[in-house]
Structure 1
Amino acid sequence: MDSDDDLIDGVLTFEAETAGVHIAVQSYFLSEQSAPEEGQYVWAYRIKITNKGDVPVKLLNRHWIITDGIGGIHEVQGEGVVGEQPLISPGDSFLYTSGTPLSTPTGFMRGSYEMRRADGQTFDVEIPAFSLDSPHTSLDIN
């Protein structure tokens, strides 16, 4: 069930954990925002960041590596996510949805978040690689 405070049931979830911070990612194709005949494909991705540690962590920056279906790479770096730099208490989660366009009907994303603990220590948290698949391509597994 889709709700504002959790991931979507039945959608493939990619997960990773670094230094007590758990990342769960889901992506889905947005056909209503895409124009395949013009080479425009758009995906949304939903990310849940859970602090499994025992001290608060603050998300400072993001770094994305976006690879399209023909191997083109685009990097995105910036402060926070969706205009926020959330402070996540132990046991709490922060969920957000964002999106990305591609000129190919498939691709993938991966990246990292720079986080800071309450004591000022910064560290990078892995965002696992996740696929961007549209119904406009056939997936051949070799």
Structure 2
Amino acid sequence: MHDGPAYTAETNGVLVRVRPSYLAGQSDPEGGRWVWAYQVEIVNLTGGPVQLMARRWVITDAHGHVEEVRGPGVVGEQPVIAPGDSYAYASGCPLGTNSGSMVGAYYMTDADGRSFEAAIPAFSLDTPDARRVLN
């Protein structure tokens, strides 16, 4: 797995950085299956702790097929991120086409119980020989 480009977004003092990578060893192009990993880092730039409560992903393949995924937390956790700290995790996404994109949001709460969304930047899922879709 190689490091791809980093995509970033900052919302309400929460910085989200995503770095996707194509997984050739887990993909089967002849069988119509392409797989990517993505590493996410969430940095708390606010003055108080924040907790990641849920996520929403919108995944679009090269044919324009859209799938929306919602769920609690990430990778089975609902991490509390202290001011100045970060939380990182890795996950993956299979597609039936050799390229696509993902975008979404994390649903966060602050120390006062206020809820807010932190944007997950749109990022491109491309095989190494594919044209890059997003910048």
* TM-score of Structure 1 vs Structure 2, range by shorter chain: over 0.9
Q: Secondary structure of 1:25's partner?
A: strand
Runs ≥4 residues deviating over 4 A: none
The letter for the 1-side match of 2:112 is D
Is contact 2:34–2:95 with CA below 8 Å preserved after alignment?
Answer: yes
Q: 2:86 aligns with which of 82, 85, 93?
A: 93
Name the residue aligned to 2:42.
49
Q: Deviation string for 1:51-84 (max 9, x for gaps)?
A: 0000100000000000001100000000000010
How many residues align? The count is 133
TM-score by length of 2: 0.94
Gaps of at least 5 residues in structure 2 are none
> Cα RMSD over matched residues?
1.7
Q: Secondary structure of 2:40's partner?
A: strand
Q: 2:127 aligns with which of 121, 134, 137?
A: 134
Q: Secondary structure of 1:37's partner?
A: helix
Q: Deviation string for 1:94-122 (max 9, x for gaps)?
A: 00000000000000000000000010000
TM-score by length of 1: 0.89
Is contact 2:18–2:39 with CA below 8 Å preserved after alignment?
Answer: yes
